[in-house]
């Protein structure tokens, strides 16, 4: 009898979706919850993007623009990347999946750091391939050890920069050295979902590497900085050759009409981007100072989120804070059971988080 599914699927643990906040409040008998667990933009979506959605709503009887013409043109002008080197996705998650589906066979394997974004391993194992995970060094990606982990069977390397969940960033020199060192037949997927939050001038930026490395694939998203997480819209930059192969596998209408319209408009919303960055860059120092006063360890970040080491374990603190209407992320799935992850919120949300954390830990 044929086996129903391959081993990669059997080994996967389904992603446990959280309940809607409204349902959690009903069950717990609370109101006014705040969510600082998913690295979302606390300001909401770009107002210009919302207007673009409303203007486009009357066209929903038509299929989306399969070429992503206006959004890709805007991206091309903003970042100086040719139209033919841009691909859109239903979130950057879909682009991760397209890379695996397009280029990876079951006999080949992938290298990643760990802990990192959990979706890489989920997609690779779901495709029946093998994932090799290289432990972080002092909460930072160790590119030397990742290079050493590469074998003749390695086809793809995933690098999250800045890394999720640690918030650490790789330097441009380190990234170039890594790309020069590894075999020239390996695709490197550089996930830059949080690159806009980086303040370190020495940090690697995929756009500055594209022309020198034809198998580099740079992934970005509108979910974080632009506040469009609910629309699922991401984009990638790569050589025209790689994009051509991806487009052969990609579904023709993978980026929805409203998502494309909102993303195109959001790219022009300079004021909203400025407000978002200001909020994060003022919120993080406040949180750091409060945690210092509490005597808690944390990992400084180059993103809008960071890790906090808590007594009695992250899961217990998560559950206790949830009952107080403050939603954070426990890090058990990332192999960091002593930590929670929290993103910078509105000033009043940051203050409530600290107040609630003090109450829970007391």
Strand, coil or helix: 321: helix
Q: State residue 224's pLDDT score.
A: 97
pLDDT in tens, 45-57: 999 999 999 999 9
Mean pLDDT in the chain? 95
What residues form DSSP beta bridges with 134? 113
pTM surpassing 0.85? yes
pLDDT in tens, 217-235: 999 999 999 999 999 999 9
Residue-range domains of the chain with CATH: 17-44+270-361 (3.90.1150.10), 47-266 (3.40.640.10)
Q: State residue 139's pLDDT score.
A: 98
* Mean pLDDT along residues 73-94: 98
What's the burial of 118, exposed, middle or buried (CB within 10 Å: 0-12/13-18/19+)?
Answer: middle
* Mean pLDDT along residues 193-213: 98
pLDDT in tens, 244-285: 999 999 999 999 999 999 999 999 999 999 999 999 999 999
* Mean pLDDT along residues 192-198: 98
Residue 267 host element (H or E): none
pLDDT in tens, 329-351: 999 999 999 999 999 999 999 99
DSSP string covering 111-155, please?
Answer: EEEESS-THHHHHHHHTT-EEEEEE-BTTB--HHHHHHH--TTEE
pLDDT of 20 strictly over 90: no
Cα–Cα distance between 115 and 129 in angstroms, integer? 19
| Cβ contacts of 301 within 8 Å, gap of 6 or more | 162, 166, 167, 168, 284, 307
Position 28 confidence tier, pLDDT thresholds 50, 70, 90: confident
Q: State residue 236's pLDDT score.
A: 98
pLDDT of 16 strictly over 70: no
pLDDT of 12 strictly over 90: no
Cα–Cα distance between 92 and 55 in angstroms, integer? 25
Strand, coil or helix: 340: strand
Q: State residue 75's pLDDT score.
A: 98
């Amino acid at each position: 009898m044929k086996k129903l599914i391959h081993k990669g699927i059997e080994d996967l643990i389904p992603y446990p979706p959280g309940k809607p906040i409204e349902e959690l409040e009903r069950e717990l008998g609370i109101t006014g919850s705040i969510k600082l667990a998913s690295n979302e933009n606390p300001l909401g979506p770009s107002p210009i993007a919302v207007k673009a959605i409303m203007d486009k709503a009357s066209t929903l009887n038509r299929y989306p623009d399969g070429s992503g013409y206006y959004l890709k043109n805007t991206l091309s002008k903003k970042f100086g990347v040719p139209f033919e080197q841009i691909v859109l996705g239903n979130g950057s998650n879909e682009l991760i999946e397209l890379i695996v589906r397009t280029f990876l066979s079951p006999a080949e394997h992938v290298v990643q750091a760990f802990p990192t974004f959990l979706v890489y391993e989920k997609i690779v194992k779901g495709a029946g391939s093998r994932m090799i995970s290289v432990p972080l060094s002092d909460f930072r990606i160790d590119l030397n050890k990742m290079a050493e982990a590469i074998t003749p069977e390695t086809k793809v390397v995933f690098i999250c920069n800045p890394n999720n969940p640690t918030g650490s960033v790789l330097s441009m020199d380190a990234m170039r050295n890594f790309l020069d060192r590894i075999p020239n037949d390996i695709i490197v997927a550089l996930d830059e979902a949080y690159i806009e939050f980086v303040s370190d001038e020495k940090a690697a930026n995929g756009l500055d590497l594209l022309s020198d490395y034809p198998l580099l694939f740079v992934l970005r998203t509108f979910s974080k900085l632009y506040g469009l997480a609910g629309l699922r819209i991401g984009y990638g930059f790569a050589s025209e050759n790689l994009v051509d192969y991806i487009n052969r596998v990609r579904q023709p209408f993978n980026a929805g009409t409203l998502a494309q319209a909102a993303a195109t408009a959001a790219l022009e919303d300079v004021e909203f981007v400025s407000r978002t960055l200001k909020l994060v860059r003022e919120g993080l120092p406040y949180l750091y100072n409060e945690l210092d006063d509490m005597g808690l360890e944390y990992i400084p970040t180059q993103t809008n989120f960071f890790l906090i080491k808590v007594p009695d374990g992250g899961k217990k603190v998560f559950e206790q804070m949830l009952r107080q209407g403050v939603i954070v992320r426990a890090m058990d799935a990332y192999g960091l059971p002593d930590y929670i992850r929290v993103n910078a919120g509105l000033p009043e949300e940051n203050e409530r988080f600290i107040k609630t954390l003090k109450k829970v830990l007391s």
